[in-house]
Structure 1
Amino acid sequence: MSDILIAVDLSSFSENLINTGLDIANRMNASVTLFSVVELGIGIGLPEGGPVYVDDISSRISEVENRLEAYKEKYPDHNINIVVATGNPKTATLTQAHDSNAAILVVGTHGRTGLDHMLLGSNAEYIIRHSRIPVLVVPYNREEH
C-alpha cells in the first residue's frame, strides 16, 4: 500500500490541507503520514512560534507531535502516521518524501506575491521543482490576488 505524505506547517490552514490529503488517500485506499518540520537556526519552528533555540528543540518537537496527534484523533477511521523532522522545511520534506513509501506529496502554498514572495521564497515552489514524486499543491488563499 502506498502512502500520501501531507506536509503540514501547523498554520490555521492546515486542516484544509489535511482534509484534501485524506480525501485523496480514501480514493487510493492509501495510508497517510502527517509530516512537519521544526526549523532550526534563525527560522521559525511554528507559525508565530519564534526562533528555535538549541535548548528548546525537544520541547518544540513534542509540541509539534502533540498538535499532529490532535489532527490524527479527529480522523479515527484513517490510517495516519506522524513524523516530525528538524532542519530546513524544503529539504527535510523532500528527503522524507523520497525516502518513504510516499506516492504523492501534498503541500500548501500561502500564495504570497510580489515582495513577500521574493523575500520569503516559496517552499512549495522549491518542492515542486525538486520532487521525484507527484506533488499536489493546495492553495491556502482561495481569493484572487
Structure 2
Amino acid sequence: MSDIMIAVDLSPFSEEVIRQGVTLAQRMNASVTLFSVVEVGLGIALAETVADLPARIRETEESLAAFKNQHPGTDINVVVATGNPKVVTLEVAHERNAAYLVVGTQGRTGLDHMLLGSTAESIIRHARIPVLVIPYNKADH
C-alpha cells in the first residue's frame, strides 16, 4: 500500500491541507502519515526551547491525533519530529518511502518571503518524490 505524507504546521490552514491530503489518500487507497515538525530555537532562547521540548512535542502529537480522529475510515499514522521543517520534512518523507508529500503554503510575498523563506518552496526544490502544494486562499479563510 502506498503512503501519502501530509506535513502541516498546525496553523488554522492545516485542517484544509489535511482534508485534501486525506481525500487524495482515500482515492488512491493509500495510508497517511500525518506529520509536523517542532522547531528548536537558536541563540539565547535555545535553553528555554530545549527545556520546553517534551511538552511541545506532546502538544503537537495531541493536535495531530485530534485531526486523525476526524478521519476514522483512513489508516493514519501520526509522526512528530524536531528540527528545521525544510530539512526534517524531506528526511522523514524519504525515510518512510512516501509516494507523495502534501504541504500547504501561506502565500507569503515580497520582503516577508525573502526574510523568512518558504518551507513549501524549499521542499519542492529538494524533494525526490511528487509534492502536492495546497495554496492558501485568504478569501476562503
TM-score (structure 1 length as normaliser): 0.90
Q: Which runs of 5+ in 2 are unaligned?
A: none
Q: What are the superposed Cα offsets for residues 69-96 of structure 1, whole Å, 9 maximum, x if unpaired?
A: 0001111111000000000001000001
What is the one-letter code of the residue matched to 1:121?
Answer: G
> How far 1:101 sits from its partner (Å)?
2.5
Aligned residues: 136
Alignment pair present for 1:92 and 2:101: no
Structure having the higher helix fraction is 2
SS at the partner of 1:53? helix
- Report the counterpart of residue 107 of structure 2 in structure 1: 111
Q: 1:52 deviation in Å?
A: 6.1
Distance 1:111 1:62 in 2: 28
The DSSP-based 3-state class of the residue aligned with 1:138 is strand
1:59 is matched by which residue type in structure 2?
A
C-alpha distance in 2, partners of 1:102/1:52? 34
Question: 1:56 aligns to what?
Answer: 52
Q: Give distance in 2, aligned partners of 1:111 and 1:71.
A: 23
Provide the residue aligned with 2:13 in structure 1: 13
Identity %: 66
Q: Which runs of 5+ in 1 are unaligned?
A: 44-50
Tell me which stretches of 4 or more aligned residues in structure 1 moved more than 6 Å. none
Q: Does the C-alpha gap of structure 1 residues 89 and 52 become closer, same or farther in structure 2, counting only changes over 3 Å?
A: farther
Q: Distance in 1 between matches of 2:80 and 2:50?
A: 16
- Shift of residue 140, structure 1, vs aligned partner: 1.4
Cα deviation for residue 98 of structure 1 reads 0.7
Q: Does 1:22 align with 2:22?
A: yes
Given residue 37 of structure 2, which amino acid in structure 1 is its aligned partner?
A: V
Answer yes or no: is the 8 Å Cα contact 1:42–1:52 preserved in 2. no
